[in-house]
Structure 1
C-alpha cells in the first residue's frame, strides 16, 4: 500500500515538475483547435415529420371500416421510396446538387461522390412515435428546408403513383371480368329465350297454375258435352242439336289434346328453364355488383388521394446543427492534456530504466 502511495505521489510530483510544458501544449492545442473550428462551415438541419396514410383511404369501404394511418409495412414502403433512385435523382436534378456541392459532372466518379454526399446530408428514419422523420443538412438553412419539403412531396407523389398503378390494374381486371361475364350473361339470355320459344314457356311461376286451371275447365267441358250428346241420343233428340253438340265436343277434345301437348312440352322444358333462370339471376347479381365495384374504383382513381399525413413542415432553422465548436475544443484540449501527461510519464520511466543502453547492449 505504501509503495502504491509513493508511486502515485511520484507521478504527481513528476507532472508538477513538467507542468509548464504540459500547460503550454494543452493551451496550444486549444488555440489551434479553436482556430481550425472557426474555419469549419456551419451546417443547418431541417426536419419534416409525417405519417404513412392507410391504403383503406383509397378503397371503397364504409367510413367506419377505414383506418386513417398506415401500418408498419406502409411505413417501410415509404422509407424504401425515400432512399430509391427515383427520389435521389429528383433531388439531384431539381436542386442542382452537382453545382451546389461543387462536384464536377465530368468526373468519372461524380455519381458516386454525389451519392456519398447525399448519404451524409439526407436521411430518413422512424421516430419513437412511429412517424417518419426526414432530415436534410446544408450550409444554407433555406436550402435545407426547401430540399426536405421537396423530398417529402416527391415521396408522396411516388407513393401515389404506385397506388394509382395498383388501382388501374384492379380496374382493368374488373373491366375484363365484367366483359367476360356480360358475354356469358348474354349467352344465358339467348339460351333461355330459345328454350322458352321451343317449349312455349313464358312464365314458370304462373304458367303452371294456368295450365292446371285450363285442364280442369276443359275436362269438365268435354265431359259435359259428351254427357249432353249421349242424353240427346238416348231420348232421340233433334239431329241438328246432336250434330251441333258433337262439333263442340270435337273442338273441346282438340283443345284438350293441344293443352296436353303444351303441358307435356312445358314439363319437358321446365327444369332447364328454371335452372337457366336461376343461373342467369345469380350471374346478373354478380355482374351488377362488379359494375358497382368498378364505378367505385373509378371514382376513387379519379379523386385525389393522400399517401402521407404531414405532421411537421420543414422550416429554415435559425440554429446550426454542427459543428459544435465548444465540444470540439474541449475534447481536443483534454485529449492533448492526457497525451502530454502520458508522454511525460513514459519518458521518465524510459530514462530511469536506461532502456536506451539496454537496446544498445542487445
Structure 2
C-alpha cells in the first residue's frame, strides 16, 4: 500500500482537536516572553570612527627637522596593528579599572581571578572593533548606561592612540639618552679644554697667535733698530735701556708677559688647544641643538589616529527588540506544539492499526 500523503491543510484537523492545548502553550509562551522582554535591560551602543595615520608621518623628529606632513594611511598593517591593540588585554584592563567595571558588571572583588575573568569576558563581549569598507575603523561599545558607553568608547580610542605611540616612544627615549650623554661628554671636554687654554695663556703669555706674533715681531724689530742707532750714536744710557727692553722681549726671564721665548715654547701646544677648543665649541653647539630638538619632539606627542567621529550617548536603545522577542517566542512555541501533537497523532494511529486488524484475521 502506498504511504498516505500529508499536507499543511491536513494538519488543521489535528490542530483543531488539540486547539486548547496549543492555545494554552502559545498563551503561556506569550506571557513568559513578555515578562522576560520587560525584565531585559535596555542596551545602548556608542560608536567612534577613526582612521590610522602612517607612523612615519607622525614621527616628531621628521616633523620638527624635515617639516613633514600628516598623512592618512589605509595600509593593512596599520589597520591590523590598531585593531590588535584595541582588542588586547592591557587596553581592556585599563578601561575596566578606570571605570570600575567590576562593580558595574557585579563580577566581584578586584583581584579575584574569577571576578577579573568575568569582568574581562563581559567587557570583551560588549566591545566591537571592525574594519569598514572605506578603510576606516569603527569602535563600538555597548552598555546599559548610554553615557558610560560613550565615555568608554572615547577612552578606548585615546588608549589605542597612546599604545600605538608607545611602540616607538621607548626607542626615541633611548635616542634622547644618547643625545644627552653626547652633550654631557662634549660639555666636560669643552670645560677641560677651556681651562687648559686659560692656563696656557697665563703660562706662555699667548692671547692671540696671529695678532701676537705680528705685534711681537714688530716690537723686537723696532727695539733692535733703536738699539743699533743708540750704539752708533754712542748713547750708552739709552743703549742699555734698549738692550734690557730687547732682552725682556726675547727671553722669558726678562719680566715681560709677552716674550719671544715663551711664545715659541707655547706655540705648538696653544695651536692644538685653540683648534680643539674651536672644534669642541662647534660640536657642543650642534649637540645641544640636537638634544633640544629630540627633547621637544619626544614631549610633543602627535596623535597617530585621525578621529572622524567621536562616540556620543545614543538617543535610542539598540536592543532588546521586545516585540520581536515576543513574536518569535509565540511562533516557535506554536510550531513546536504543532510538531508535538502531530507526532502524538501519528503514534496513536500506528498503535491503533494492529488492534483493528487482529479481529479480521480471526474471522
Give me the TM-score of the superposition, normalised by structure 2.
0.62
Call closer, same or farther: CA 1:182–1:306 in 2, change over 3 Å.
closer
Alignment-derived partner of residue 152 in structure 1: 153
Number of residues of Structure 1 aligned to a counterpart in Structure 2: 323
Alignment-derived partner of residue 267 in structure 1: 268
Alignment-derived partner of residue 321 in structure 1: 320
C-alpha RMSD of the superposition: 5.3
**In the alignment, does 2:42 pair up with 1:44?**
yes
Return 5+ residue gaps in structure 1 as ranges.
139-143, 233-237, 355-362
Give the distance between the partners of 2:347 and 2:152, measured in 1 at CA: 55
Return 5+ residue gaps in structure 2 as ranges.
252-258, 356-363
Give the 5 Å matches for 1:1-362. 10-12=4-6, 19-22=12-15, 24=19, 30-42=26-38, 43-51=41-49, 61-62=63-64, 65-66=69-70, 71-72=78-79, 73-80=81-88, 84-92=92-100, 96-98=104-106, 111=115, 115=119, 118=122, 122-128=126-132, 129-136=136-143, 138=144, 144-152=145-153, 154-155=155-156, 184-200=185-201, 207-214=208-215, 216-218=217-219, 220-221=221-222, 224-225=225-226, 228=229, 232=232, 238-240=233-235, 244-245=238-239, 247-248=241-242, 251-252=245-246, 254-257=248-251, 258-291=259-292, 293-294=294-295, 300=300, 309=307, 310-317=309-316, 320-323=319-322, 324=324, 325-334=326-335, 336-337=337-338
Instruction: State the SS of the aligned residue for 1:131.
Output: strand
Quote how far apart the aligned CAs of 1:191 are.
Answer: 1.7
1:156-207 CA-partner distances (Å, limit 9, x unpaired):
67668879999998999899778766754553243223321333289xxx92
Quote how far apart the aligned CAs of 1:226 are.
Answer: 6.8
- The answer (yes or no) to whether the contact 1:199–1:262 under 8 Å persists in 2 is no
